[in-house]
Structure 1
Amino acid sequence: MDLKDIRELVQMINSSELAYFELKMDDNYIKMDKSLTRSLVGKTSVENIVGKEEINKNINSEIVNKNTELDIEEKVLVKEDENLLTINSPMVGTFYGSSSPDSSPFVSEGSKVSKGDALCIIEAMKLMNEIECEYNGEIVKILIKEGQMVEYGQPMFKVRRG
């Protein structure tokens, strides 16, 4: 991998929505993490666009309402998720729910799955990687859309073990 390839890779990652990227190839190792940069840029631009006085006026009423809503939502979600397991992406790539655009998806919400069943394909560096189910159960929720980029460790499926 030469300097030109590395520059192209950095430009592609910077223009994408990926927050984290890691690549190991032969003796080369590249790791990029944009999550800290994005949060700092967002904070700065908000303060520049809206004056601090205007922000302080709206904080009191908005915070109370939003905190109440968040508390309710968190409690409901925690109770819902107690019986669910998450299957995360083992790599960075593009998510495909079927082996080809014309074929039916490997799984859909409500599908019964067994350990070793194909759940999806993740395309990474022109290689198609079939992702298999880690345990027996039922697909409760598919969290990724067809053709969407996935990051390492990103939740893809919610499964009720059974």
Structure 2
Amino acid sequence: MMDIAEIQKLIKALDQSSIGELEYNKEDMKLLLKKNLNDDLQFVRKVSEGSVSNNKMIQEDYSIPHAQVNESNQENVEKLTENLHEIKSPMVGTFYDSSSPDAEPYVEIGKEINEGSAVCIVEAMKLFNEIESDVRGEVVEILVGNGELVEYGQTLFLVNKK
């Protein structure tokens, strides 16, 4: 049986690595560690008890938060994001940040945009659709890379409204 120190070493090793999942087998115990997308560490322990014919499994799930946000930080985040507007994709397709591979991007972080300004192109079935901003403001984040597939309703840009 594994002791808690061994499990903690495995959790620390997974947390500091770039891998997302670790499976460890030792004698009659199977340990599966997974990182969640929100950087929480999920710990799942499965233990076989008894003989092979009597293969009863016990499963325990634990969540270990990577970083916890206190209430005052949460309020600050809400105030900062209160004035942010999301520009979303109106369709499924391929995101392009400029009109051609050698052209300058329509927008960059820190650039002021107006309502109706072109911000990108989404190509769907060989049709190139110019996407326009529906607000006036400053681009604070570009959430999609050039050439990436985007979903309907996926946020492409965050704009600080003016």
TM-score category by the smaller chain?
0.5 to 0.7
Structure 2 match to 1:122: 122
Q: Map of 1:144-155 to 2, 5 A cutoff? A: 144-155=144-155
Write the distance in 2 (CA, Å) between the matches of 1:109 and 1:129.
Answer: 22
Give the root-mean-square deviation of aligned CA atoms: 2.8
State the identity as a percent: 46
User: Which consecutive residues of structure 1, in runs of 5 or more, have no partner in the other structure?
Assistant: 1-47
- Dislocated runs of 4+, deviation >4 Å: none
Give 1:55 shift.
Answer: 6.0
Question: Which structure's residues are more often strand, by fraction?
Answer: 2
Normalization by structure 2: what TM-score? 0.59
How far off is 1:87 after superposition? Answer: 0.7
Aligned to 2:69: 71
Alpha carbons of structure 1 residues 126 and 139: separation in structure 2 relative to 1, 3 Å: same
Q: Deviations over 1:27-83 (max 9, x none)?
A: xxxxxxxxxxxxxxxxxxxxx984534863x72xx43x34xx243498254333111
The answer on whether the counterparts of 2:31 and 2:46 sit within 8 Å (CA) in structure 1 is no
Residues 93-102 or 75-84, more deviating: 75-84
Paired residue secondary structure (1:52): strand
Q: How does 1:83-102 map to 2 (within 5 A)?
A: 83-102=83-102
- The answer (yes or no) to whether the contact 2:113–2:137 under 8 Å persists in 1 is yes
Q: Which has the higher helix share?
A: 1
Q: Which residue of 2 aligns with 1:111?
A: 111
Q: Which runs of 5+ in 2 are unaligned?
A: 1-29, 33-44, 48-57
